[in-house]
Chain A
Amino acid sequence: MSSSAISLSNINLVYSNKYILKNINIDIKKGDCVSILGHNGAGKTTLFKIINGLIKPTTGTIEILGNKLTAETKKQIGYIPQINKFENYIPINVKQVIEIGITARKGIFKKLSEQDNLLIENIAKKLDIYKLLNVPIGKLSGGEMQKVSIARVLAQQADIFLLDEPLSNLDVQSQKNITEIIENIHSEKKATILIVLHNFEQKPKCCNKEIVLEKGELCSNF
């Protein structure tokens, strides 16, 4: 069985004759917590979108947990985009958002079981959002919304977490809470976590690897 969680080989992404990502080779082991740093436009978010299949690279191969990227392997990836990308005007509540994680895992036709409801409740209690389960997402603060997104990925029972700037646009207290949650997930679930960060100082303690991107190229990978 492969010890590699994410393996990218010779990834190039060319758009309008310009390299967005150039010759990316990364091997992330299971249980690694990796911070991804770089300036605006360095290719951090694009790298995430290549890992989860939202963007097809011009060349190169992607392997997730030793397998090719398919709809089935995608279930192992929990993706949290930047907070301002959420459609919080949609009339759905916190529970319905967390249920999306279960939909991803079980498929769109399977009904929620008693066990699934229990899982949602437990996750919500753990992340301190139990009282918010019936609250519409349009009424949540940035920090609460970020917790709900993490709850969605926990309900998905994903092995790999892709967190795109999870601390951006949050107040200091919320940043601290979210960082603690990330550290707990890493220690308790032994999950593989990739975090895009703007600020090096925000790096959670559990990060054991660092990737620095500059203008689409890997500056350091250690």
Chain B
Amino acid sequence: MFEFLDFFNYSFFNRAIILSILAGISCGIIGVWVLLLNIPFIGVTIAHCAFAGAIIGLFLGINPILSGFIFCLLSALLINPMSKRIKSQNNITVSLLFSFSIAIAFVFAGLFKEHLTDLFTFFWGNLLISSMNDVVFNIIVTAILILFAISFHRGIIALFFNREISKSCGIPETFVFTIMLLLICSTISLNLKSIGGLLIYSLISLPAATAYKLTYNLKTMYLLSVLFAVSACVIGLFISTFFTIPVGATIILVSCFMFFISLFYKKV
């Protein structure tokens, strides 16, 4: 036990705790958006496009967070025009982008001869290797996210209710939705290294889904989603450190466990 508490003496562990709290807050908020805007497939696809972008960036020697963000944003902006072009529902475009991103990520991963540890970090994440820069960027994005969620609250509710109605009565629906997409992309990209490209979407969707199972109140849903995401991150970090297992995967397993528990509770 004493040895375990000794971890707090190390700055990398304290940074990991701060990052896990920040990741929990940001993923908890955008999880509510993705769920209530009813765009789960778009969410999972842009998360995997970010992952592909990060792997390509790593291979080309570009900042992987930046390349991940660019890929993520491009995919988010491409979905609607592509669907119009191929005259289909978003689902076909989303499936196409999802398959493409996974394929291209694995092709580039196969080309790696060295820096394999860096590569695998973007697969399943590692909170323990985060830098001070990661913490600073996460603080900035989380602060912007909270500020936006509060100041645009009324517009966001209108979009949740019905995007068509919002647009028809002059609410700046496209503007609000675009900022939401930008913030979703930023959050995903910034958490690729800590949570992992293959797992980040689970941290976005599971806590929000758990919160949704428990409440009819939007504010409570936001709070519960953040609470579950932060708890999953912190508990996952401690368990993974104690048992020396991958941290990203442990966080997702804790989130899954919370979701299963929520199935036994009645919505109030």
Residues of A within 8 A of B (CB): 16, 49, 52-54, 71-75, 77-79, 81, 85-87, 90-93, 96-97, 99-101, 103-104, 108-109, 136, 138-139, 156, 158
Contact = CB atoms under 8 A, between A and B. Distances in A.
A92 B156 CA distance: 12
Contacts of B169: 52, 74-75, 77-79, 101, 104, 156, 158
B42 to A, nearest CB: 16
Contacts of B167: 53-54
A87 B87 CA distance: 25
B38 to A, nearest CB: 7
A212 to B, nearest CB: 24
B36 A90 contact: yes
B161 A91 contact: no
6 closest A-B pairs by CB: A108-B155, A74-B170, A136-B216, A104-B169, A52-B168, A79-B168
27 contacts: A53-B167, A71-B170, A71-B172, A72-B170, A74-B169, A79-B165, A81-B165, A86-B161, A86-B162, A87-B36, A87-B38, A87-B162, A90-B36, A90-B218, A91-B216, A92-B157, A92-B160, A96-B218, A100-B154, A100-B161, A104-B169, A104-B170, A104-B171, A108-B152, A108-B171, A139-B216, A156-B169
Interface residues of B, number: 29
Interface string B25-51: 000000000001010000000000000
A97 B170 contact: no
Interface of B: 36, 38, 87, 151-152, 154-155, 157-158, 160-162, 164-172, 176, 212, 215-218, 220-221
Contacts of B158: 100, 103-104, 108
Contact of A138 (B87, B176, B216): B216
Nearest to A90: B160
B166 to A, nearest CB: 8
Contacts of A109: 151, 154
Contacts of B220: 91
B216 A74 contact: no
A92 B218 contact: yes
A210 to B, nearest CB: 24
The winner among A71, A75, A86, A91 for most chain B CB atoms within 10 A is A91
Contacts of A101: 169
A53 B168 contact: yes
A91 B168 contact: no
A53 B166 CA distance: 11
Nearest to A100: B158
Contacts of A77: 168-169
A100 B168 contact: no
A85 B164 contact: yes
Nearest to B214: A91
A85 B161 contact: no
Contacts of B38: 87
A92 B154 CA distance: 12
The winner among B167, B169, B171, B172 for most chain A CB atoms within 10 A is B169
Nearest to B211: A91
A4 B169 CA distance: 19
